[in-house]
Amino acid sequence: MGGGPAGLAVLLAAHKDGRFKEMLSQGLLIVERGAQIGPGQIGTYSINSDSTGDTFIDPLRAGTEARLHAILDTPVARRAAAAGLDSIPLRDAGELMTLVGEALHSLIGDYPQSAVLTHCTATLAQQQCDGTWQVSLTDAEGKLQHVQGKSLILATGATQPLARLQRETVAGVPVAARWGNRLMQSGEVFGQGGLEKVASLLAGKTDPKVAILGGSTSAMAIAHALLHRMPAVRFGEGGLTLFHRRPMRVYYTNAEEALQDGYTEFGPDDLCPITKRVYRFAGLRLDSRELLMQVRGIGNRPPEPRMKMHQLQPQDPEAVRRIDAVDLVIAALGYRPNALPILDERDEAVSLFAHTGPSAALVDDKCRVLDNQGTPIAGLYGIGLAAGFIPRGSLGGEPSFSGQANGLWLWQHDVGSIIVKAVLPERSERHEPPAPFTAPPARQAPMRVANQPSGPRASLPTGTRA
């Protein structure tokens, strides 16, 4: 469910592992609410990626699929390849993922067992008595249909719910109640027209002041965008302040490189035992890393006087006073996963572990969706932003890491491969060729039909190509 970058990462992992054709011959259905699979919302964001150009290009170099290899000759792919280990604009990432989606859609069309449904939204998933899953779908005209599968993968994205923001506190005071009249969430700033709205709110102010609440990559990416992508807004010294709870870390490829920069804020537990990288998952990278190093004066970076940082205390009157004085407050306090309503075989709602707390994970370290007791739900998997996946063991990562690992490279490699292995049979098993993927007869289900975007009605073909 979901044909954006996280959903396609599973297919690209299968392609890398030499199991893509096997997946399609077994029967694969992709359900996407938009007009096409591939870009999701990534191309609408007005910032640079926190993934390298190589991350977007490497899956196209792998395997034997000529339709994926052909993308390498396009102008946008050449720009991404030229970026190499640097970031690329997310508008380029969206354009490139659109081409990847078109190629994968074409490849799926070669297999009558598989299909793609666009302009179609999954509204409910129910586990059947035999362990399979039935998913209720509505198309752009509100027509209801049901599809069944052995396994269900949720790549349904993430959101910043207002209800969660209303419960957030910073420096001991409620965020929404205290600063709600001049508050934006980071997703709104990143999104289409977001920076223009910020510029409009700050227009005419001789010494604009902005507070960013949060210590994630997103928070630092917001800061970088405000300083470098709004030429009409002139921030003075300390015009931008980032308020964060935990220390913000710098990524290095190895300890020697960090020490050469005079960076000593790490110990043995902060090194990945496999790659030996410093803060492999917790450390900031690319644009966010450079800005943090400038503000902190690390590695002889040129200073950035327009930005300050303040590490918050549980009760912090000084922070409250400073935030009270700004013109705009941006909350970069994280995302929550979009998950379908789930029913069990008795038509009873299944509460998920992700619903038990503001930071509770959707999945475990095997990408299995968890119920509210932390028990994996058979045949149900999740991937993508805010899923809460934490790499362990053979996947590496520093032992001190306590957050969630989000990143396209990880999804396209280790995380995607975990799901591929889980949903496909062991290579040693023999299986009869599957029948074409068909929609089972519709049945009544306790559900509410969701509103749909406009567009042509999608339907699942019966024994025909997608």
Question: What residues have CB less than 8 Å from 458, skipping those under 6 apart?
Answer: 117, 118, 119, 120, 139, 140
Determine the pLDDT at residue 135: 97
In the prediction, which pLDDT does 439 show?
40
d(CA 100, CA 90): 15
Of residues 339 and 36, more confidence is placed in: 36
* Residue-range domain boundaries for the chain: 5-159+336-423, 162-248+284-331
Contacts (Cβ under 8 Å, ≥6 apart) of 281: 272, 391, 397, 398, 401, 403, 405
Q: How far is CA 118 from the centre of its chain?
A: 20
Where residue 394 falls among pLDDT bands split at 50, 70, 90?
A: confident
What distance in Å separates the CA atoms of residue 155 and residue 2, rounded to the nearest whole number? 5
Supply the pLDDT for residue 435: 40
Answer yes or no: is pLDDT of 104 > 60.
Answer: yes
Q: What is the arithmetic mean of pLDDT over 226-235?
A: 93
Whether 210 shows a pLDDT value over 50: the answer reads: yes
For residues 42 and 97, which has the higher predicted lDDT (pLDDT)? 97
Q: What is the pLDDT of residue 68?
A: 95
Whether residue 398 has pLDDT greater than 70: yes
Written as six digits, the tokens of 240 are 């931008």
Which of the pair, 322 or 157, is modelled with greater confidence?
322
Assign 207 to helix, strand or coil.
coil
Overall average pLDDT of the 58-81 stretch: 94
pLDDT at 450 over 70: no
Q: Looking at the predicted structure, is the pLDDT value of residue 422 above 70?
A: yes
Whether 453 has a pLDDT exceeding 50, the answer reads no
Residue-level pLDDT at 462? 33
Q: Is 119 left (phi over 0), alpha (psi -120 to 50) or beta?
A: left
**What is the reported pLDDT for 89?**
87
Lowest mean pLDDT among 77-81, 223-227, 306-310, 450-454: 450-454
The dihedral built from the CA positions of residue 30, 409, 52 and 193, taken in this order, carries a sign that is positive
pTM reported for the whole predicted model: 0.85
What average pLDDT is seen over the chain? 88
More confident residue, 44 or 4: 4
Q: Determine the average pLDDT of the residues in 261-284.
A: 95
Q: 132 or 392, which is more confident?
A: 132
pLDDT bin (cut points 50, 70, 90) of residue 397 is confident
- Answer yes or no: CATH 1.20.140 is held by domain 162-248+284-331: no
Q: Quote the pLDDT of residue 396.
A: 85
Residue 49: what pLDDT?
82
Does pLDDT of 202 surpass 60?
A: yes
- Segment 209-223 shows an average pLDDT of 93
Among 138-142, 293-297, 311-315, 403-407, name the one with the lowest average pLDDT: 403-407
What are the Cα distances from residue 352, in Å, to 142, 162, 339?
Answer: 27, 19, 9
β-pairing verdict for 169-170 and 342-343: unpaired
Average pLDDT over residues 24-41: 94
Taking the CB of residue 192, how many other CB atoms lie within 10 A of it? 12
The pLDDT value given to residue 427: 67
Residue 94 pLDDT > 50, yes or no?
Answer: yes
Q: Do domains 5-159+336-423 and 162-248+284-331 have the same CATH topology?
A: yes
Q: Reply yes or no on whether the pLDDT at 459 is more than 60.
A: no
Nearest to 319 by CA among 445, 220, 178, 451: 178
Q: Which CATH number fits domain 5-159+336-423: 2.60.40, 3.30.70, 3.30.530, 3.50.50?
A: 3.50.50
- List, for residues 349-368, the tens digit of each pLDDT value: 999 999 998 889 999 999 99
